[in-house]
Amino acid sequence: MDSRVVQTYQQVRDECGRDYVDLCTIPGWMPETLRQSNECIPLSMQIVDALLSDRDVIVGQFRDKTFERWDMPASEASARIRREWLALGRRVNLGDICWFTERQFHEQRNPSNHALEPTPDRSEIQF
């Protein structure tokens, strides 16, 4: 992961333990110079890939106020996020594409949903 975004990754990862974190948070918490650069999406995707590699983090989207976990390998989730982001043709906004959260946080908020299994095909991330 690029050293310029490690701090942003750590902030986002910490927040996943307390809440659902929208995709727009990632570029929103990056330093302004990176947020405004052509590197915004590639650097944000490094953070996304790190989150997807974390077995304690789940990704999904809200439908009718219910978090629906994406049941796909990390590589497919990453490709989907990148594809949908580029298709937007603009900055990602609140509610666009996906949300991340820590599995334990989600299970505490949704006791009937304890059976979530880790998404297979997690790639290793190097810092």
Band of residue 4 on the pLDDT scale cut at 50, 70, 90: confident
Chain center to CA of 76: 13
pLDDT bucket at 113, cuts 50 / 70 / 90: low
How far apart, in Å, are the Cα atoms of 62 and each of 50, 84, 94, 106? Answer: 21, 16, 11, 12
The pLDDT of residue 106 is: 92
Predicted structure pTM score: 0.85
CA separation for the pair 35, 24 (Å, rounded): 11
Tell me whether residue 73 is exposed, middle or buried, using C-beta atoms within 10 angstroms of its C-beta: 0 to 12, 13 to 18, 19 or more: middle
pLDDT in tens, 30-39: 999 988 889 9
- The structure tokens 């790639």 sit at 123
Average of pLDDT values for 6-13? 96
Identify the architecture of domain 3-113 in CATH.
Orthogonal Bundle (1.10)
Sign of CA dihedral 6, 28, 57, 59: negative
